[in-house]
Structure 1
Amino acid sequence: MQIIPISYPIDFDTPHVFVGEQVVAIGDFDGVHLGHREVIGRALLTAKKLDLPTAIMTFHPHPRAVMGQDKYIDLLTPMKEKMEIFASLGVNHTYIVTFDASLMRLTPELFVDQVLDRLGVNSVICGFDFTFGYQGKGNPDSLCELSHGKFSVEVVRPFQMDGEKVSSTLIRESLQQGDIDTVTRLLGRPYSISGIVIDGEKRGRLLGFPTANLQLDEAYVIPTNGVYAIKASVNGETYKGVMNIGVKPTFATGELKPSFEAHLFDFSEQIYGEHMKVELIAFLRPERKFSSIDELVAQIKVDAEAARNK
């Protein structure tokens, strides 16, 4: 998949910008959840029928973060992971559009005229709630009107599960409630975080449960503090394990920033400095303070056994 970073105004003469007939799925796609997959799938199907390349147009930073909604600084799928998912779906190229003040002030008319028209798109696929242009005044209906027949517009209806619309907001809320089962269903895959294994306090080793301490490499939406059953991938291998996300209240020193400590089953390698991806399989229990080390160790054994069975 070709990744094409662009910013407004777009220099269409640069060799890396693909201009030509193409089917474009447009949206932020944070999470690339089942609703997003429906939009992208429609684009892939339309492109196949027309024998055209499939493109995705997405935005960075998240538009809502630029407009001052701080919770959108943290993402469900940071850009690198998003690109990996798009490529796995068979997308030909992705435009990563810099969302800044100049783009934010662009009217819906100018966005169509100076971006979509000039890219030479044949068809645009978007979700029912897609907005664009200054103050989000553009919507799927106005996109149809502004196309003036130069390209077609397909609008994908809301994707629902159990009578509720699948959305990035619902996934964020479910993560913050520890509802990993719902998160997995809405994403169509386990939620994952990744980073570099760093040196820690080595307290887990003293307790008989050595842990890999993860320093996240992206600004992820962090799940609620607690203990999770996980699958961890490192050095090309995947292991079951258990992870604590939180402030370790039994040994609390006033630190409020959560740590990410994973104990991998049947694993004894030194992996400091290695990259590790962690999939959250199940929420086992909230984080809590124990009255003694022995009580903590007993609970860790219970957590580990529960995680092995997930």
Structure 2
Amino acid sequence: METIHLRHPYQSTAHLDSPIVVALGFFDGVHLGHIGVLENAKRLAEQQGAQLGIMTFYPHPKEVLGKQPEAFRYLTPIPEKLSLFEQHGIDKAFIVEFTPEFASLSKEAFLDEILSPLCVTGVSTGFNFTFGRYATGTPDDLQVLGKNRFETVTVPPIMQQDQPISSSRIRAALSNGEIALARDMLGRPYRVKGNVIPGDQRGRLLGFPTANIRLEQPYYYPKLGVYIVDVWVPDLQLRSFGIMNVGIRPTFTHTEPDIRIEVHLLVQDLDLYGKELVVDLLHFLREEQRFPSFEHLKTQINQDRKTADDWIKQEAQANKQVPFQIY
């Protein structure tokens, strides 16, 4: 897959002369609703004998337009998003820089200055795709304005629990600790990746060594608490179940520190410093809490491990686990 970064106005090198069908959208999460848009683009490209492309935008409009006071956190940061696109057979991925100037384009200018120079012959969008100034353009506008220029396919909502699957619903599920619901809408477990950095060794003193993870990208944080996770260590070609804590560790500090992510592997103690960990969330165990003493915390950790072991055995028997995917 070829990745092409674009900024409006395009340089002449951005103009293409080979027909291409593009899936249009922000695609945060690359969830099952997004997959529907990609699959329709693929069918249209096959019908036309055209290349298959995708156009996404970065950074998020909320960051650029000042609608969010803090940095935006993504379900799928750009590297992960691109890996998922490649899995779905995309030939070219266009990443358009979202700027105030880009946001001010009219609906007509979006077609004339963004799509037409790329020789777009077909477009697939979701039912709720918007474009142009103030996000007033709709899929119907795309169909009308694109008439005699390209073919347009609008994908209806993909439903889950009688509601359309959406990135905002997945965020809400993660914030509520509803990990199975998030997985059902994503079509895979929610994933974060990070590198193991030195910690303060408190876990080891408790007999429960943990890997302190620094996230590689601005991932969306799930609900603070303890999770059962599936971990892949690429450098060691090792896969292990584990227990992950996402939180501020209130037993150890009275301040307001940054959120930390710590993972304990349910295998032998390993030297993981400097290694990348790929972590899939499987199940929310409990909320983070403050304990009156280290002994109380140690008792709870042992209980967490037992609960995790029991849950993993039940899931294995029921064969409910989503196979681990490398991307």
Q: TM-score, normalised by structure 2?
A: 0.91
CA–CA separation in structure 1 for the residues paired with 2:71 and 2:130: 17
Give the secondary-structure state (helix, strand or coil) at the position aligned to 1:13: helix
1:4 corresponding residue in structure 2: 4
2:321 corresponding residue in structure 1: none
CA–CA separation in structure 2 for the residues paired with 1:149 and 1:72: 41
Give the secondary-structure state (helix, strand or coil) at the position aligned to 1:170: helix
Task: Kindly state the Cα deviation for residue 51 of structure 1 after the two structures are TM-superposed.
Answer: 2.4
Instruction: Please give the per-residue CA displacement for 1:125-180, whole angstroms capped at 9, x wherever unaligned.
Output: 00111110111121111111111311010000111112011111111111111111
Give the secondary-structure state (helix, strand or coil) at the position aligned to 1:291: coil
- Tell me which of 45, 59, 66 is aligned to 2:57: 59
Conserved in 2, the CA contact under 8 Å of 1:22 and 1:55? yes
Give the secondary-structure state (helix, strand or coil) at the position aligned to 1:238: strand
2:170 corresponding residue in structure 1: 171
Matched, 1:280 2:281: yes
Task: Kindly state the Cα deviation for residue 253 of structure 1 after the two structures are TM-superposed.
Answer: 3.3
- What is the alpha-carbon root mean square deviation over aligned residues? 1.4
1:248 corresponding residue in structure 2: 249
Give the secondary-structure state (helix, strand or coil) at the position aligned to 1:268: coil
Task: Kindly state the Cα deviation for residue 63 of structure 1 after the two structures are TM-superposed.
Answer: 1.8
Give the secondary-structure state (helix, strand or coil) at the position aligned to 1:239: strand
Conserved in 2, the CA contact under 8 Å of 1:64 and 1:72? no
Identify the range of structure 1 (53-62 vs 250-259) with the bigger mean alpha-carbon deviation: 250-259
Conserved in 2, the CA contact under 8 Å of 1:28 and 1:58? yes
Structure 2 counterparts to residues 182-261 of structure 1, below 5 A: 182-234=181-233, 235=235, 236-261=237-262
CA–CA separation in structure 1 for the residues paired with 2:122 and 2:288: 49
1:103 corresponding residue in structure 2: 102
Conserved in 1, the CA contact under 8 Å of 2:229 and 2:280? yes
- Using a 3 Å threshold, how does the CA distance of structure 1 residues 239 and 19 change in structure 2: closer, same or farther? farther
Structure 1 residue runs without a partner (length 5+) = none
Instruction: Please give the per-residue CA displacement for 1:39-74, whole angstroms capped at 9, x wherever unaligned.
Output: 111111222232221100000001232122327711
Instruction: Please give the per-residue CA displacement for 1:222-255, whole angstroms capped at 9, x wherever unaligned.
Output: 0111000001111232110001111111112313
CA–CA separation in structure 2 for the residues paired with 1:48 and 1:90: 12
Q: Which amino acid aligns with 1:2?
A: E
Conserved in 1, the CA contact under 8 Å of 2:107 and 2:132? yes
1:299 corresponding residue in structure 2: 300
Conserved in 2, the CA contact under 8 Å of 1:47 and 1:54? yes
Q: Which amino acid aligns with 1:272?
A: Y
Conserved in 2, the CA contact under 8 Å of 1:12 and 1:19? no
2:325 corresponding residue in structure 1: none
Give the secondary-structure state (helix, strand or coil) at the position aligned to 1:96: strand
Give the secondary-structure state (helix, strand or coil) at the position aligned to 2:214: strand
Task: Kindly state the Cα deviation for residue 18 of structure 1 after the two structures are TM-superposed.
Answer: 4.2
Matched, 1:33 2:34: no
Q: Which amino acid aligns with 1:12?
A: S
Q: Which amino acid aligns with 1:141?
A: D
Structure 2 residue runs without a partner (length 5+) = 313-327
Task: Kindly state the Cα deviation for residue 116 of structure 1 after the two structures are TM-superposed.
Answer: 1.1
CA–CA separation in structure 1 for the residues paired with 2:71 and 2:270: 36
CA–CA separation in structure 1 for the residues paired with 2:306 and 2:172: 28
Identify the range of structure 1 (21-30 vs 65-74) with the bigger mean alpha-carbon deviation: 65-74
Q: Which amino acid aligns with 2:240?
A: Y
Conserved in 2, the CA contact under 8 Å of 1:62 and 1:72? no
Task: Kindly state the Cα deviation for residue 271 of structure 1 after the two structures are TM-superposed.
Answer: 1.6
CA–CA separation in structure 1 for the residues paired with 2:54 and 2:304: 42
Q: Which amino acid aligns with 2:251?
A: T
Identify the range of structure 1 (47-56 vs 29-38) with the bigger mean alpha-carbon deviation: 47-56
Identify the range of structure 1 (52-61 vs 268-277) with the bigger mean alpha-carbon deviation: 268-277
Q: What percent identity do the matched residue pairs reach? A: 39
Q: TM-score, normalised by structure 1?
A: 0.96
2:320 corresponding residue in structure 1: none
Give the secondary-structure state (helix, strand or coil) at the position aligned to 2:303: helix
CA–CA separation in structure 2 for the residues paired with 1:307 and 1:256: 27
Q: Which amino acid aligns with 1:176?
A: S
- Using a 3 Å threshold, how does the CA distance of structure 1 residues 19 and 281 change in structure 2: closer, same or farther? farther
2:128 corresponding residue in structure 1: 129
- Using a 3 Å threshold, how does the CA distance of structure 1 residues 205 and 57 change in structure 2: closer, same or farther? same
Q: Which amino acid aligns with 2:157?
A: P
Q: Which amino acid aligns with 2:298?
A: V
Instruction: Please give the per-residue CA displacement for 1:161-203, whole angstroms capped at 9, x wherever unaligned.
Output: 1201111111111111111111111111110111110000101
Conserved in 2, the CA contact under 8 Å of 1:3 and 1:95? yes
- Tell me which of 36, 39, 42 is aligned to 2:40: 42
Give the secondary-structure state (helix, strand or coil) at the position aligned to 1:141: helix
